[in-house]
Amino acid sequence: MNPAGIIKIIIVAFLSTGFPMALFAQISGSSSAKTITKGSHRASKAKLSARMTLDGYYQTGNTEKNNVSTAVFMSSVDSIKEFSANAKYLYGKNNKTVNQKEYIAGVQFDYHPFSVISPFVRAEYYKNEFRKINGRYSGLLGVKYRYFVKPEILDYSISAALLYDVERYEPDVDLPDKERLRISVRPKFKHNLTSTVYLTAEAFYKPNLLDFNDYILCGNINLNIRIFKRGLLRLSYEHEYNNKPVTDAVKKTDALLLAGLGVEF
């Protein structure tokens, strides 16, 4: 992994812990900072929400081209449970030749999502023929710890999960299906900077429990600006490093810079 890639991952991971912003809030001594509490925020009634986005993005790594990404996220949450689903599709062409197709989908169930400690289960699907992955099916069982919370303003958490993967490869890759048992550690934060601007970030470390040299590091940072009641202007950066790609022809690092619009309901 090149030094620039390492630095980017460290920055994403550090920001995702929320410590810089939490420390600033403590030091500033503002009236809002004093009301920050460690604990839970509970919703009494089920709340339905949805978000749809359309982004243009530039990618470096296994493809290098301006492309288009679209994503959908939906959730239903109350004080006892949260059910969420997400889907994302990336597409790109270069000289009339398709050079990017990526599909991501997932569903998740959280128990007592607003508590300090909450268990969750998740299932995921991933496909990217340019990384030679015809299908990756994943199941996760884990726990989230919310260590710094101010309702509607701050939400900093870290989670750990046991992750079981089954990978199937493209027909031109002469490899059998591969099963892996990983752990997944994810720091995450959301910070409402103003009434119309909020920042989110998360980072993942996913080592293979049977081979710690086989690991994935990935993360993202997202700046969202509300431009009208339900509309968002978005700027995002995503980075992924896979220390053991499917073949030597597949690059270890992919990075994306995205800008686009979103709608929230």
Phi-psi region of 96 (alpha: psi -120 to 50; beta: other; left: phi over 0): left
Beta carbons of 84 and 75 less than 8 angstroms apart: yes
**Domains in the chain, please, with CATH?**
3-264 (2.40.160.40)
Of 58, 137, 62, 53, residue with least CA distance to 88: 53
Q: Return the percentage of the chain with pLDDT > 70, whole number.
A: 80
3-state DSSP call for residue 31?
helix
Contact 160, 187 (CB under 8 A): no
pLDDT band at 66 (very low <50, low <70, confident <90, very high): low
- The mean pLDDT value for 95-101 works out to 73
Task: Give the chain's count of helices (H) and strands (E).
Answer: 3, 12
pLDDT band, very low/low/confident/very high, at 64 (cuts 50, 70, 90): low
Name which residue leads in pLDDT, 8 or 164: 164
Using pLDDT thresholds of 50, 70 and 90, give the confidence band for residue 120.
very high
| Confidence check: pLDDT of 178 > 90 | yes
Could you please report the per-residue DSSP string of 158-190?
A: EEEEEEEEEEEE-TTS----EEEEEEEEEEEEE
User: What's the one-letter identity of residue 145?
Assistant: Y
Average pLDDT, the chain: 83
Q: Which pLDDT score is estimated for 34?
A: 36
Least confident of 46-55, 87-96, 118-127, 185-194: 87-96
3-state secondary structure of 241: strand
**What SS3 class is residue 220?**
strand
Give the residue carrying structure tokens 């004093």.
34
pLDDT band for position 86 (cuts 50, 70, 90):
very high
79-88, 94-103, 212-221, 255-264: the lowest-pLDDT one: 94-103
**Under 8 Å between Cβ of 42 and 16:** no
Q: State the pTM of this model.
A: 0.81
Residue 160: its pLDDT value, please? 97
What tokens does 164 get? 């079981």
Tens digit of pLDDT for each residue in 187-229? 999 999 998 999 999 999 999 999 999 999 999 999 999 998 8
Of 57 and 121, more confident: 121
pLDDT at 258 over 70: yes
